[in-house]
Amino acid sequence: MTSVAMQENKENIQQSGVYISTYGCQMNVNDTDRMYALLEMVNFNPVNRPEDADLIIINSCSVREKPVHKVHSEVGRYKNLKKTNPKLKIGVGGCVGQQEKQRLLTDVPLLDFVFGTDAIDELPDIVEKAYKNDQKIVRARFEHQKPYQIQTLNSNPGVSTFVNITKGCDNFCTFCVVPFTRGRERSRATSELVKDIQTLVKRGVKEVTLLGQNVNSYKSECGTNFAQLLERLAQDTDIERIRYTTSHPKDFDQELCDVMQRNREKICEYIHLPVQSGNSEVLARMNRGYTRQHYLEKVQMIKDTIPGVSLSTDIIVGFPGETEEQFYDTLSLLDEVQYETLFAFKYSPRPFTKAAKFEDQLSEQEKSERLNQLFKKHDEISFALAKKYEGQNLKVLVEKYDEENQRVSGRSTQNKLVHFSGESDLIGKTVLVNITEAFPQTLRGKRVEA
Ligand code: SAH
Ligand code: SF4
Ligand code: F3S
């Protein structure tokens, strides 16, 4: 390409808008923020509608049901945009990109590039090449050996933001595609995390959520474990609040409970502890590494050490071979643990995974019935649990202002969404709120004057 043509190309890119649609977990939400920040450095500015974009990226998720189909149909919706804007490039990133690689480009002719979960930092280069050479690109190699070094790039992070501490997963639960789409587990250096969080504090962040597929298997190169990392971040940074997700029951120990309790001024007393099933045989076939009994012992340890702790979980119904009785064990576990929040899913066979080849796959109807039963049971439990907050004073970090109703909302340390009367100047402040009424999903309260 001549230098004049390159210059023209640069100018084209300089006026460009990028739209990213995001599926999946918080990891992907965070990856999208990184993509926007990286693309801003090469003059792509975020736009709110695909119609206004010169670059569209689908940050895909592969964890459940028909993910490839979802990508196909979203790209299909952009067909006309390609006609009206010949400059438009469309790419797919995230876990479907990692899983499908070249096949996705072959199957979806409208696509210009596909990149994997380890190639986000290469995005500016990928996009530049896609524009310059007008050729299709696939980048989906894993960086298994390299140390995990990134920065939380989000330049406008708001009050609360995510910070990745690990990537990948080595657990290979038999139902789960994540070890195949995110690669081997790697941890970021502790000193890098301290610096990163201090930078976020300077940008006005009050709360960070530490992210990883299994945060409590964090291990830095100098040997720091997750409990030690949490304590270091609580003591050596000025962040006001720390949350984390997801922790794996098999790696949850007394040391972690003690650190949370010792630093409860900063570390929120909310734990997402995915159980997946309440039956030990199913858990063994899932390769979860704990039995029902072990799990219940961990829950007891947590409740004994951290009074007032709030728990949530993930459950899969209709795992291959799950009998009616085994499912009842999951129902009864809800009674025993008393989760405030439940995320439940119908089992969905995933590529590369062992459970996809198991016999005795359940019918869609059976899975749907079990899912409904589970949610019904949980609704009864969770509303009663929410009611217990009535009359209590909760510490709420204000995140949003609703002008129409002149009220603000934020989350309590227990991760409850709380609404109360207030003005926009409260955003970013932590205030004490007396809970006047509990609803199934939210709490309403009144500010307690300091
Ligand atoms: N690392 C986290 C889970 C990440 S995936 C952990 O171990 O807890 C998020 C949730 O999706 C899982 O907890 C599980 O409940 C659900 N999930 C994963 N694979 C699934 C599948 N094949 N079918 C249905 N649900 C699945
Ligand atoms: Fe998937 Fe299990 Fe790893 Fe969670 S711990 S990401 S469920 S393999
Ligand atoms: Fe989905 Fe990948 Fe997250 S499969 S749940 S986006 S790790």
pLDDT tens over the chain, length 450 residues: 444 444 445 444 457 999 999 999 999 999 999 999 999 989 999 999 999 999 999 999 999 988 889 999 999 999 999 999 999 999 999 999 999 999 999 999 999 999 999 999 999 999 999 998 878 999 998 877 777 887 777 767 889 999 999 999 999 999 999 999 999 999 999 999 999 999 999 999 999 999 999 999 999 999 999 999 999 999 999 999 999 999 999 999 999 999 999 999 999 999 999 999 999 999 999 999 999 999 999 999 999 999 999 999 999 999 999 999 999 999 999 999 999 999 999 999 999 999 999 999 999 999 999 999 999 999 999 999 999 999 999 999 999 999 999 999 999 999 999 999 999 999 999 999 999 999 988 999 999 976
CATH architecture of 390-447: Beta Barrel (2.40)
For the CA of 172, the nearest atom of ligand 2: 8
CA distance 231 to 263: 7
276 lines ligand 2 (CB under 6 A): no
Instruction: Give pLDDT, residue 450.
Output: 65
In this structure, which residue's CA is closest to atom 1 in ligand 3?
Answer: 61
For the CA of 63, the nearest atom of ligand 3: 4
| d(CA 175, ligand 1 centre) in Å | 8
| d(CA 133, ligand 1 centre) in Å | 39
Phi, psi for 161 (deg, rounded to 5): -145, 170
Residue range(s) in the chain whose domain bears CATH number 3.80.30.20 = 160-387
Residue range(s) in the chain whose domain bears CATH number 3.40.50.12160 = 3-139
CATH architecture of 3-139: 3-Layer(aba) Sandwich (3.40)
Residue range(s) in the chain whose domain bears CATH number 2.40.50.140 = 390-447
| d(CA 276, ligand 1 centre) in Å | 8
The burial of 193, by beta-carbon neighbours within 10 Å (0-12 exposed, 13-18 middle, 19 or more buried), is given as buried
For the CA of 177, the nearest atom of ligand 1: 19
CA distance 313 to 308: 17
Q: Which of 20, 21, 22, 27 to mutate to test the pocket of ligand 3 (most atoms within 8 A of CB)?
A: 27
For the domain covering 160-387, report its CATH number. 3.80.30.20
In this structure, which residue's CA is closest to atom 10 in ligand 1?
Answer: 314
pTM of the model: 0.93
96 lines ligand 3 (CB under 6 A): no
174 lines ligand 3 (CB under 6 A): no
